[in-house]
């Protein structure tokens, strides 16, 4: 028998901690270590990004339909509010429950020169990294976050979520966001547009990117493309694929200077979202404490105790509620 959000609330309401104890089994500790066979992902090249935010626009549009990461069944329109003139421009400053992909500008010193560290700036595209061994999946006590065994996409099963938000604490990249403003809150994050694959489509952000800064494809191909770029010399010409890694459409332009590092190749055990940049990744907001350590190895020891803790608290709460109710009834009689 599986437990969903409704069952959980029912169990909590009627003091069904014992039911929870038998249901709230954390995801298997043995998270994958290798790329799934058909792993897909995104390569973002900050040196090609012009900050147009087209990717953000199409992310919101294409994810507002059923199956999309921002779909709100109770609100059929886009997940931002056009009703007030003040809200005509959706000017997101950070990831939120309404914004699962954001382009940010990161500056150093005077911030005058693009893709340079000294007095420079760089753009960065922030969304779920689709970790090969996702910490969010490993800590979820009811498997509301899952990793697709074939394509490796880390996705969310809304009906199972109990709102504990362990995923938010566990994610080293601080990605999942919560609908605090909602009466029926959900976790929100990029799901790599998996709802579009059956129709032969791919990530909406890459579809709208005019420069090839964001390209979708098999992770193995994206790694090869990135490795090739790291061998190019600054100033030489190169045909950058646009939209997908195997696209016939190319953008021919001069190569910028890269930091010799493909971010996501090894960080946190490897990720399916990969990044190239002209400046150090710390400058782009990536925590330098994120190493090659596979995080579920660390989280498992703690999280494996949590269902028992939740169940104990609920059983205790239910018992207290029953005793108090009994006493009140006696008094009334």
- Which residues here bind ligand SF4, judged by CB under 6 A? 49-55, 59, 63, 69, 100-101, 103, 125, 127-131, 134-136, 154, 171, 173, 175-176, 189-193, 203-205, 208-209, 211, 213-214
What is the nearest approach in angstroms of ligand SF4 to the Cβ of residue 298?
A: 12
SS3 content of the chain, % helix, strand, coil (to 5): 30, 15, 50
Q: Would you say 53 or 98 has its CB closer to ligand SF4?
A: 53
Q: Tell me the C-alpha distance between 305 and 233, whole Å.
A: 52
Cross-strand pairs, 103: 125
Least distance from ligand SF4 to the Cβ atom of residue 29, Å:
15
Least gap, CB of 331 to ligand SF4 (angstroms): 50
DSSP 8-state code for residue 226:
H
- Minimum CB separation of residue 332 from ligand SF4 in Å reads 50
CB of 174 to ligand SF4, least distance (A): 8
User: What distance in Å separates the CA atoms of residue 200 and residue 277, rounded to the nearest whole number?
Assistant: 30
Question: 150-162 burial by CB neighbour count: b if 16+ within 10 A, else e?
Answer: ebbbbbbeeebbb
* Closer Cβ to ligand SF4, 99 or 311, answer by number: 99
Tokens linked to 158: 């809304």
Residue 12 or 262 having the CB closest to ligand SF4: 262
Q: In the complex, what is the shortest distance from the CB of residue 255 to ligand SF4, in angstroms, rounded to a whole number?
A: 16
Instruction: Kindly list the strands in the beta sheet with 120-126, ordered across the sheet, starting from the edge strand earlier in the chain.
Output: 102-107, 120-126, 113-114
Q: Which is nearer to ligand SF4, 21 or 72 (CB)?
A: 72
123: phi then psi, degrees, rounded to nearest 5? -90, 155
* Identity of the residue, 140 or 311, whose beta carbon is nearer to ligand SF4 in the bound complex: 140
* CA separation for the pair 196, 203 (Å, rounded): 8
What is the C-alpha to C-alpha distance for residues 115 and 285, in angstroms, rounded to an integer?
14
Residue 327 beta carbon to ligand SF4: minimum distance, rounded to whole angstroms: 45
What is the DSSP secondary-structure string of 264-313? TSSGGG-BSEEEE-SS-GGGGT--TT--S--THHHHHHHHTTHHHHHHHH
CB nearer to ligand SF4: pick between 23 and 214 = 214
Rounded Cα distance, 330 and 326, in Å: 6
Contact 218, 224 (CB under 8 A): no
* Distance from C-alpha of 303 to C-alpha of 145, rounded to nearest angstrom: 15
The DSSP bridge pattern shows strands 145-147 and 120-126 to be unpaired
Nearer Cβ to ligand SF4 (49/318): 49
Of 130 and 229, which has the nearer Cβ to ligand SF4? 130
Shortest CB 19 distance to ligand SF4, Å? 28
């Amino acid at each position: 028998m599986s437990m969903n959000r409704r069952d959980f609330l029912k169990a909590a309401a009627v003091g069904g901690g014992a039911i929870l104890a038998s249901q709230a089994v954390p995801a298997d500790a043995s998270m994958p270590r290798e790329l799934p066979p058909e792993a897909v992902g995104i390569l973002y090249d900050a040196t090609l990004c012009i900050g147009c935010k087209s990717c953000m626009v199409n992310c919101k549009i294409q994810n507002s339909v059923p199956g999309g990461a921002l779909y709100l069944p109770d609100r059929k329109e886009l997940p931002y509010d056009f009703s007030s003139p003040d809200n005509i421009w959706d000017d997101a400053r950070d990831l939120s429950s309404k914004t699962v992909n954001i382009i940010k500008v990161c500056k150093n010193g005077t911030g005058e020169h693009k893709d340079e560290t000294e007095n420079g700036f760089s753009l960065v595209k922030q969304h779920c990294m689709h970790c090969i061994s996702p910490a969010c999946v490993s800590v979820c006590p009811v498997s509301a976050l899952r990793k697709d065994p074939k394509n490796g996409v880390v996705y969310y099963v809304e009906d199972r979520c109990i709102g504990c938000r362990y995923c938010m604490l566990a994610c080293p990249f601080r990605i999942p966001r919560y609908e605090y403003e909602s009466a029926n809150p959900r976790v929100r994050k990029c799901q790599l547009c998996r709802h579009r694959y059956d129709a032969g489509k791919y990530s909406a952000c890459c579809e709208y990117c005019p420069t090839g800064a964001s390209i979708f494809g098999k992770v193995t191909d994206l790694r090869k493309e990135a490795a090739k770029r790291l061998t190019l010399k600054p100033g030489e010409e190169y045909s950058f694929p646009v939209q997908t890694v195997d696209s016939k459409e190319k953008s021919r332009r001069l190569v910028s200077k890269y930091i010799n590092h493909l971010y996501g190749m090894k960080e946190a055990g490897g990720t399916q979202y990969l990044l190239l940049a002209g400046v150090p990744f710390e400058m782009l907001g990536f925590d330098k404490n994120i190493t090659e350590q596979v995080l579920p190895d660390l989280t498992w020891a703690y999280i494996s105790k949590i269902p028992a803790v939740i169940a104990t608290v609920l059983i205790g709460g239910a018992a207290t509620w029953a005793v108090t109710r009994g006493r009140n009834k006696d008094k009334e009689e």
